[in-house]
Amino acid sequence: PLILGLESSCDDTAAALVRGRDVLSSVVEGQNSLHAAYGGVVPEIAARAHAERLDLCVERALDEASVTLADVDAIAATAGPGLIGGVLSGVMMAKALSAALGKPLIGVNHLAGHALTPRLTDGLAYPYLMLLVSGGHCQFLIVRGPQDFTRLGGTIDDAPGEAFDKTARLLGLPQPGGPSVEIEARNGDETLYRFPRPLLDRPGCDLSFSGLKTALMRQRDQIIADRDGLTRADRAALCAGFQAAVRDVLAEKTRRAIGLYMNETPTEPAFAVAGGVAANMAIRTALESVCINFGIRFTAPPLRLCTDNAAMIAYAGGELLAAGVSHDMSLQARPRWPLDRRAAPLVGHGK
Ligand code: ATP
Ligand code: FE
């Protein structure tokens, strides 16, 4: 079936057409310029922009896929979690289209969209292990089905991308911080300055990154106090030390997560890392070698399908539809919606 997907939960308005694992089109309209002056996403501005742009995104997606609304078999929209105004815009649009076309409506969890992306891009079999690692997220999930996720652990404070961004800010490097820190780190000695490896002394898969920022700030201030300023070499060494700490912690927690996952003897064991931080070559290489050591498949979906998009929502909608899930007009937009049902039972509108 041909699924139209809508995404509007944060600051990207997106529409896509997906058939099975085929992405016919994926249109993403960012809102960076609208929010730039405010230093963050302004929910009211985002909601209005989504409402104004969804129509056009759908039109462009149909155009690029060379199909018409009449060809669409079902409409999937992000129903949460996210900024409620934006989520509402997408859900309302999906309801209107569903009613007008007489085609099924499917409310999709945005995080499920991210978590199912390795099936869209690499065709991974259930269950697989996933690490979502971005500017806003860091968690390990065992993905067992389109509605069946087990969270093994995650960050108890900052997300790693956020830590990269703060590091760049503290060292006067351009944003987004991840790429600038990675480039600096290439010329730095990672052993010159000491960074902690937070939570490695504790069992389990939880992570913490806020202490790295404190360690960085302390050492930067010490260098400046001792020598009246940071040299290029200092900056490179601080970046290298920080990045090595993030790399080591992610690699060790991935080992533990794989250990838990392998206890379930998956038939086609696989690990996927997704999110902006997965673009970091040092981190990616470390995670890949952990997988090689365990003899399990390593995948990392392309970045354009890891950042917010509607193709992942349409794909997830297709899987849900195949599993017999669809929703009626009582489908609600949910600001909070944890993936792991043990964390919060899903009450709702599934048929
Ligand atoms: P969310 O998960 O809430 O959508 P987000 O919008 O920040 O968060 P992404 O676009 O997936 O998600 O990731 C952006 C983050 O990834 C930024 O914090 C950025 O610094 C980080 N990042 C990008 N490239 C790199 C890199 N090469 N190394 C480390 N971090 C990186
Ligand atoms: Fe997202």
Separation of alpha carbons 61 and 55, rounded Å: 10
Residue with CA at minimum distance from ligand 1 atom 20: 178
C-beta of residue 163 within 8 angstroms of C-beta of residue 212: yes
Query: Would the pLDDT of 236 be above 50?
Result: yes
Mind listing the pLDDT tens digit for each residue in 98-155?
Answer: 999 999 999 999 999 999 999 999 999 999 999 999 988 899 999 999 999 999 999 9
Query: Would the pLDDT of 293 be above 90?
Result: yes
Nearest ligand, CA 280:
1
Question: What pLDDT score does 32 carry?
Answer: 81
Question: What pLDDT score does 343 carry?
Answer: 58
Residues 6+ apart with CB under 8 A from 234: 223
Query: Would the pLDDT of 63 be above 60?
Result: yes
What ipTM, to 2 d.p.? 0.97
Handedness of CA 129, 115, 320, 350 (dihedral sign): positive
Q: What three-state secondary structure class fits 141?
A: strand
Nearest ligand, CA 135:
1
Q: What proportion of the chain, given as a percentage, has pLDDT over 70? A: 97
132 is in an annotated binding site: yes
Highest mean pLDDT among 21-25, 36-40, 171-175: 21-25
Q: What proportion of the chain, given as a percentage, has pLDDT over 90? A: 85
Nearest ligand, CA 133:
1
Lowest mean pLDDT among 39-43, 187-191, 290-294, 322-326: 39-43
Structure-token pair, residue 74 = 């079902």
The Å distance, Cα 110 to ligand 2 centre, comes to 7
Q: In testing the pocket of ligand 1, which one of 41, 134, 166, 246 has its CB within 8 Å of the most ligand atoms? A: 134
Where does the pLDDT of residue 59 fall: very low under 50, low under 70, confident under 90, or very high at 90 and above?
A: very high
Write out residues with Cβ below 6 Å of ligand 1. Answer: 134-137, 161-162, 164-165, 176-179, 182, 275-277, 279-280, 306-308
Q: In testing the pocket of ligand 1, which one of 111, 277, 285 has its CB within 8 Å of the most ligand atoms? A: 277
Question: What pLDDT score does 67 carry?
Answer: 98
**CA–CA distances in Å: residue 165 to residues 13, 14, 33, 292:** 24, 25, 19, 30
